[in-house]
């Protein structure tokens, strides 16, 4: 099957501009990555990591033989336990119901994990398992190594374990039960990614190793971080905002429709909103969780029913508020871009239109050579070579679009050009900042008013 890592011939957008001209679809080009700029060591590391990804193919083909519709459905449900959607629900459950302090530290750690995984993926730009030998059971729009599911499946479940062993009083019987549940959660999420054919063993192992390093550092710093964000000073919030701006600025650029960068924009908004809510609230202890406010003799049935009620009411309120916030913010962002004369596109619409790069490995996927060629060596050098005569691998930003992107270029929000700005970036930063602040500061007051 022909790889989708190809280029389109030419394009014009609705404003009369054009994208970078690229070569025909059957022309092999190199997939450049930011780490290539480190020279031979960076390119060598990338080649070795790709070897590690491909050597795991027999494992995936063996697993693939044992797929059944029922097993696939179960694995998709398990995989959901490692997504940002599930972690968001868990974050709210912890904050509203079980332990407010654990909730906010969990939220910050989630942002850290997403950032590390996103930066490494965008820096390395390594493919997912080989197509068509491994057939994925779900779509994946970002690069492979390290696995988000693996990294987050290491730091978040096991941080909960570390926290509860220190701050909760479990009996000798309850503690091993909790350990088994945490272990099953963590390792089953990782295995589900292998079963679904969207990650290689190398992706999973690297995510786990990086997760262990991040978690070991976080357990040394969590008390310091909580003390810092609990100081009621505007300077702490301002420092957080500046830190998020710097981190997003340092994040490597992604190909259009790749969710890695926009996911980190969401998490930057979440972390900033979380810190602002903790830092600026009038009561030093903030809004305690349900468990922290109920009498000790409250029955389990009453507690669970109240938790479910809080989650239901809170989810409905947040969904409505999010829809309104997103609509207003997106509209205002478009107006601001037009006033500034900036060309823009919508990466979410781009991805929904099926224009995002195909990220699985094929025979046409070529890494930048370890030893660089000169421009005099014409083989495998295309129109993106530098003008000074030295070889320059074609940048991913100006290559590998689906050819269908040109056919719908009259849609301004889908047509991407190298000088266009993504509407989703400022929208998600603002919306998720306001939404997190609302969820942690306003919604608990609604719970108190409703008596739940």
The region of weakest confidence among 175-184, 244-253, 379-388 is 379-388
Check pLDDT > 90 for residue 209: yes
Tens of pLDDT, residues 279-304: 766 554 567 788 888 887 788 888 88
- Tens of pLDDT, residues 417-431: 666 788 888 898 899
Q: How many residues does the chain have?
A: 452
Find the mean pLDDT for residues 191-202. 92
Query: In which band, very low, low, confident or very high, does the pLDDT at 226 lie, cut at 50, 70 and 90?
Result: confident
Mean pLDDT, range 51-64, rounded to an integer: 90
pLDDT for residue 148 is more than 80: yes
Write the DSSP assignment of 328-374 as a string of letters.
HHHHHHHHHHHHTT--EE-HHHHHHTT-SPP-EE-TT-EEPPSSPPB
Cα separations in angstroms, 182 against 95, 225, 414: 19, 24, 42
pTM of the model: 0.80
Would you place residue 400 in the very low, low, confident or very high pLDDT band (cuts 50, 70, 90)?
A: very low
- The SS3 assignment for 130 reads strand
Residue 185 confidence (pLDDT): 93
HSE-CB at 193 with a 13 A cutoff on CA atoms is 30
Upstream peptide bond of 146 is cis (omega within 30 degrees of 0): yes
| Residue spans per domain, the chain | 40-253+263-297
Contact, 85 vs 274, CB < 8 A?
A: no
CA distances in angstroms from 62 to 65, 132, 207, 416, 448, listed in the order given? 5, 14, 22, 39, 54
* pLDDT, average across residues 249-270: 85
Phi-psi region of 126 (alpha: psi -120 to 50; beta: other; left: phi over 0): beta
In whole angstroms, give the CA distance from residue 11 to residue 26: 18
Of the pLDDT bands very low, low, confident and very high (cuts 50, 70, 90), residue 190 is very high
Q: Which range is least confidently modeled, 234-243, 276-285, 299-308, 385-394?
A: 385-394
Q: Which residue has the higher pLDDT, 10 or 35?
A: 35
Mean pLDDT score, 178-204: 92
Residues 6+ apart with CB under 8 A from 96: 103, 289, 290, 307, 310, 311, 314, 443, 444, 447
Compute the average pLDDT of residues 26-49.
80
The overall average pLDDT reported for the chain is 79
CA distance 66 to 23: 41
**pLDDT tens digits, residue range 98-122?**
888 899 899 999 999 999 999 999 8
385 secondary structure, DSSP code: S
Which helix (DSSP H) or strand (DSSP E) does residue 275 occupy? helix 259-280
Lowest mean pLDDT across 1-5, 226-230, 372-376, 403-407: 1-5
- Report pLDDT for 419: 65
- The residue among 350 and 183 whose pLDDT is bigger is 183
């Amino acid at each position: 099957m022909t790889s989708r890592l190809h280029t389109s011939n030419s394009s014009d957008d609705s404003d009369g501009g054009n994208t970078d001209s690229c070569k025909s679809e059957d022309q092999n080009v190199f997939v450049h990555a930011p780490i290539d700029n480190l020279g031979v060591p960076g390119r060598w590391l990338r080649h070795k990591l790709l070897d590690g990804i491909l050597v795991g193919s027999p494992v995936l083909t063996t697993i693939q033989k044992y797929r059944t519709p029922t097993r696939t459905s179960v694995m998709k449900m398990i995989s959901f336990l490692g997504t940002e959607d599930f972690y968001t629900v868990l974050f709210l459950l912890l904050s509203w119901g079980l332990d407010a302090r654990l909730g906010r530290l969990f939220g910050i750690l989630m942002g850290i994990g997403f950032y590390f995984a996103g930066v490494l993926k965008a820096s390395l730009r390594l493919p997912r398992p080989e197509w068509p030998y491994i057939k994925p059971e779900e779509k994946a729009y970002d690069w492979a190594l390290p696995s988000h599911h693996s990294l987050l499946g290491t730091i978040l479940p096991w941080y909960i374990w570390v926290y509860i062993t220190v701050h909760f009083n479990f009996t000798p019987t309850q503690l091993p039960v909790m350990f088994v549940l945490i272990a099953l959660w963590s390792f089953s999420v990782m295995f589900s990614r292998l079963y679904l054919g969207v990650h290689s063993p190398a992706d999973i192992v690297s995510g786990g190793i990086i997760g262990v390093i991040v978690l070991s550092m976080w357990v040394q710093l969590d008390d310091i971080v909580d003390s810092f964000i609990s100081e009621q000073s505007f300077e702490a919030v301002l420092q957080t905002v500046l830190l998020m701006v710097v981190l997003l600025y340092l994040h490597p650029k992604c190909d259009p429709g790749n969710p890695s960068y926009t996911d980190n924009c969401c998490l930057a908004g979440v972390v900033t909103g979380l810190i602002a809510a903790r830092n600026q609230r009038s009561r030093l202890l903030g809004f305690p969780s349900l468990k922290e406010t109920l009498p000790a003799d409250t029955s389990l049935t009453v507690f669970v029913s109240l938790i479910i009620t809080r989650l239901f009411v809170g989810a409905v309120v947040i969904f409505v508020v999010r829809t309104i916030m997103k609509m207003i913010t997106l509209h205002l962002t478009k107006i601001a871009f037009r006033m500034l004369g900036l060309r823009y596109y919508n990466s979410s619409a781009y991805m929904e239109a099926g224009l995002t790069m195909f990220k699985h490995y094929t025979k046409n996927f070529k890494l930048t050579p370890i030893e660089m060629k000169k421009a005099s060596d014409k083989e495998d050098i295309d129109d993106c070579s530098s003008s000074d005569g030295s070889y320059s691998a074609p940048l991913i930003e100006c290559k590998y679009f689906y050819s269908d992107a040109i056919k719908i270029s009259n849609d301004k929000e889908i047509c991407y050009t190298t000088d266009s700005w993504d509407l989703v970036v400022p929208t998600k930063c603002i919306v998720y900042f306001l939404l997190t602040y609302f969820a942690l500061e306003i919604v608990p007051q609604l719970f108190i008013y409703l008596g739940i």
